[in-house]
Amino acid sequence: MPNLKVRVISARGLAADGDTTVKLKAGESKAKTKTVKKSATPDFAESFDLVVKETDVLSIELSHSKKVGAKGDKIGTVDLALKDLIKGKEKVSWEKLTNGAEIQIGLNPQDFGRAESASAPSPLLSSPPARGSGGPGATNSAIQQSIKAAAAALPPMPSEEEVNKQYEQVMAGLGFDSTFKHPTQYQKGIVNEISIEKKWAMVCQQKMIQNAKTTGKIEKTPQYWTAKLRTEGAQLSFLRDLRIAIGGEDLKWISSFVSAGGLESLCEILGTIEHTIQRNSTVNLNANAAKEDESIQQQNECIRCILVLMNNKAGMNGLVSGDKPVKRLVMSISAPEEIRIKLLKALTVVCLFSSEGHRRVLDGLVAFKNAKKEKTRFETVVNYLRRATDQDAQITYLSFINAIINSPDDLDLREALRTEFNNLGMEAILKTLKSTLNPEKDVDLETQIDTYEEEGKDDKKVLESRFSEIQVDVNSPSEVFEWLTSETKKMQLVPQWQGIMRDLLLMFLQSANPEIGAKSFLVACRLVRQVSLNKATVGINDNSQIDMNELLNSAAADLGKTPLTSKIADLEKELELFKKKMATTEIELRERDEKITLLRSESSSGGPPPPGPPPPPGGEEGGPPPPGPPPPPGSEGGPPPPPGPPPPPGEDSGGPPPPPPPGGPPPPPAPGGPPPPPGMGPPPPPGGGPIKKPPKKKPRATPAAKMKGLQWNKMPDNKIKGTIFEKFSFEYKGVKLDYSSIEENFSAKVIEAKPAEEKKPQVVQILDPKTWQAMSLYIAQFKTVSLPDLAKGLKELDRKMFTAEQVKVISTCLPSKEDIAAIKSYLQDGGDDSKLPIPEKLALEYDKISNLDQRLMAFNFLLNFDLKKADIVPDVDVLKQASTEVLSSSKLAQLLEIVLEVGNFINEGTPRGNISGFKLNSINKMVDTKSTDNSTTLLQHLVALLEKASPQTLQLKEDLVKVDQATRVSLQSLQAEMGSLTRDFNIVEKNMANFQEGEKFTAIMNPFLAKVKGDIERIQTSFTAMEEKYKEAVTFFGEDPKSCQPEEFFAMFSSFSGSIDAAIKANAEAIVNAEKNKRREEAKVKREADLQSKKKVGPEGQDSVVDELFGALKGGNFFKNRRAPTDAGKREPPPKDSPTNPFPVLRKTQNP
């Protein structure tokens, strides 16, 4: 490890200006400074760490070239011995080079060199002779006696050579060489009297002294103070002495104190004091007042000791590296305000120092919340800020809050922390603070308020940019849910998505303690957030992290199953479609083969074969009998001829059916004969007349017990014809059925009816299920209205009974004619009307109303006309007025002329210059043209010029009042609404001819139509005028009225006007920010001056971590400088040597 710090400071005495370089060499270590150009007195100010031995010599070589840029000439060297240096203390001196020039060098040995005191290792060699003691002779005698007395207790002496070697090391460590080149007067008398025994005694004594220092037996060492901490504890006087001692020591001493456990001991004592204060505050307040006051003083001194240690790197590293120190400090924030302010400043710096420090502060706040039994971890801090009246306290609280929120690099963590604070009322507190703010005096407070608000706005922009690719309002849970559901369907992840929803529900349902459920939910949110940001590791804290790649690999198998399942489903669909295509192809082929066979048969026989007689009733075919041959010409209306002869035995009866017999259907069978074929129905009586209904079809067997019943829907008899049921025989002759088995398994259970209960009559649903459900929901809105009154109200346009929405609903769910016919058929067949549900009964009521669909259309028009008129007329008026405004605005014309002039000026000498006009969308491109330094836009600069030359021109919004509203009007939709209104009026007016005069419907509609006819004509006239004015405006500004819609046309003017207002606001904010920055810079200079003055009075080698970091936070740009935005949610610190890095305390120890 490097053990010698070398500073090359400057040089002087060089002959002329030139390039200068310094080279260093000691043992195996080498170093070289940068080249300082064009200087006869170059300043290097560079530091190097070298690995050397105490006996090495440091060689310095300075090269200087008079010709700038030429190769350096060796003009001076010097060799410096290292053994005379003082350990741990820098020696700065001017050393003369071989040619007469001088170089300023600083040397600071780290683990070698003599002790800082010039005394010898023994009191025998370090104390001058006492007065009256007889002088040096007496002293020498005492030395001899002391050494002889101690000789017996010394360890065995090694060889003389080894003793001399160790003795020289001891003397060199104390700053002397073996010949005492610079001895004291006392030392001159004894230098020649040191025997080998004396040397060995001195070596042994120095070893004992060093051992005593290490074990804390010698005062003022870190080990001494650490040992005293464990014994003296929280004594007030001791803590004060310790604070003074720490404040006067250098960085190395403090580092040793922390390493020896001093900081940890202080934190343990602080915890004990805190416990004592809590105990005293709860027991006999009067009796313990004095004790409590002493404990508070002890607490104050203990915290001050810790703060002094924290004000350098070694102490801060020791504080952050342990589990307890930060927690102990946080647990003391309930101390009196004077102590609390110091404490919160330190904790603010801990948050800023490292991510580990930030995490430990949050952990401490959680522990504080649990100890105080508060609901949230930031409740106490926010309450302190709310009640604070002293401005320094307000600044400290706000700085601490800003450090907690904005220190993490994780955007989502910052947002979560900010949300916690906002939920505690931070926005209202800041509003109150701003209302009493004096910008000229309260610079630091204003800075912290701005930091809180500006960082929140910046983070919100980055957060929203994540979702810029999808058109979803991320603040709307319903929209996010719909989008996620849609995406999971596309990726075949619906089961997994549903599983996530169920798991989130279980977090609350399975936990008896609501707080545990909420914590589980927050843990899940944190993990999901980390996964969504593609973090390298996932976990709750740094100690429990899981590699993200391992998680992704574990999900690879499941991911493979999902597409496989989807692929299987797709293949099954393709297979099903292929089967359907195969079946269709087979049917087509079969039909083609049948046609070919028929054509061949006709071709071979010269005509179709003669038809055969119908098959006997109940035959296997079961089909209707083939009709007879066609009647001869002119024989219509004659008696039917007898049926033809039966076909010969064995002849196939599957040929084409013969033509029907002349004169109509065959005669009825003789009495007692077989029934007519199924589907033909009974023959009509002679002379015509109504067709009788067929007898009820009954099964072959009848059950002896009551059966459960099959809930099927009956097909009306009049719809049987042409269906498959027409082909079935009247008596069942199919497969033999085991009726006894059916009866045994499906007979109804005999349940003894309870006397108190009556069975509800079974209802019969006839309407289509969808229609039935819609009508049921509709009827439910009229619980106190009878069905006849409901139908009557619809017939007579009762506007008190119905709303426009209800009329619209019933218009879409009216029962069809087939539904009405089915209901009537049910009743005609003897059905029980008491078993009809309410929708079927209402359908019968509606069937009594003539021209129901036309009435409903008229009713809809009646109820909706005013609403449609209210939608159309304002939009027409807005478009007309907006068109007039842009045509007549003198400010707009003046601004467009200015834009044309400025554009030609900027584009002078280019193909884009010297134009006479521009497309209208060009007016909004000025915001994209940046200045040379990117600090402003062309529009902002133009606005700044006009604010001085012609400020009234910028008040464009005064001329364009309706333009912004016009951007939200669609001309196409307006045209469609106007057309629909006119068309509906014409249809309703035409339908009025179908209604009788005198009924209530016509008494309402005729006057209404007469009135609205004039309204529609006036709307149409206004609409036409609007279209002409709009066309004129669009053409006037050089756009195409056929393709340019109002949303696009007026949006250009609205955006231009809004950009002008934004530019005015931005210019005003720039002026305000310039004033703020000026005041902040003045405050910064003052803080830096104060900090430098503190350093001058402090011990050499100490840092000022707390002062410098807290001062940087007060500057206002701490977080902006520290973490420049990179990707979404990530902000990385600049390089350590960057000028924007606000961590000056992290450099090496400062030396003069």
**Greater pLDDT, 208 or 79:** 79
Torsion of CA 921, 923, 927, 930, to 10 degrees: 110
Tell me the one-letter amino acid at 530: Q
Q: Stretch 341-345: mean pLDDT, rounded?
A: 88
Whether this model's pTM surpasses 0.75: no
The whole-number average pLDDT for the span 269-280 is 81
Question: What's the pLDDT score for residue 554?
Answer: 64
Q: Is the pLDDT at 486 greater than 70, yes or no? A: yes
Helix (H) or strand (E) holding 76: strand 73-81
For the segment 131-137, the average pLDDT, to the nearest whole number, is: 35
Instruction: Determine what percent of the chain is predicted with pLDDT higher than 70.
Output: 69
User: How much is the pLDDT for 224?
Assistant: 84
| Mean pLDDT of the chain, nearest integer | 75
Q: Which two tokens mark 451? A: 């930091």
Residues in contact with 617: Cβ distance below 8 Å, sequence separation at least 6, in sequence order: 674, 675, 676, 677
Highest mean pLDDT of the ranges 180-194, 393-407, 570-584, 921-935: 393-407
Which token pair is 351?
């948050």
Give the pLDDT of residue 735: 66
Beta-sheet strands, E only, within 83-133: 91-96, 102-109
pLDDT above 60 for 415:
yes
CA–CA gap between residue 781 and residue 1064 (Å, rounded):
57
Residues 853-866, mean pLDDT to the nearest whole number: 89
pLDDT at 568 exceeding the cut of 80: no
Binned at pLDDT 50, 70 and 90, residue 750 comes out as low
Record the tokens describing residue 383, joined without a space: 């309450």
Residue 1010 CA from chain centroid, whole number: 59
Helices assigned H by DSSP within 283-425: 289-310, 313-321, 324-330, 337-353, 355-372, 379-387, 391-406, 411-423
| Cα 1085–Cα 1088–Cα 1090 angle in degrees, nearest 5 | 110
> Which of 53-67, 381-395, 995-1009 is predicted least confidently?
53-67
- Is pLDDT of 893 > 50? yes
What would the mean pLDDT of 888-893 be, rounded to a whole number? 89
CB within 8 Å of 1025: residues ≥ 6 apart:
880
Distance CA 963, CA 329 (A): 61
pLDDT of residue 317: 84
Show Cβ contacts of residue 1027 under 8 Å, excluding neighbours closer than 6 positions: none
Q: How many CB atoms lie within 10 A of CB 1142?
A: 22
626 vs 53, more confident: 53
Burial class (CB in 10 A: 0-12, 13-18, 19+), 990: exposed
Nearest to 1119 by CA among 338, 414, 396, 188: 414
Q: What is the pLDDT of residue 1120?
A: 58
> Is the pLDDT assigned to residue 1038 strictly greater than 60?
yes
> CB of 378 within 8 A of CB of 361?
no
pLDDT tens-place string over residues 778-801? 888 888 889 899 888 888 888 888
HSE on the CB side for 994, CA within 13 Å?
A: 13
Cα(242)–Cα(261) distance, integer angstroms:
14
Higher pLDDT among residues 1043 and 471, named by residue: 1043
- pLDDT value at position 1111? 62
380/386 Cα distance (integer angstroms): 10
CA 226 → CA 257, 263, 301, 1103, 1108, distances in Å?
7, 9, 16, 22, 28
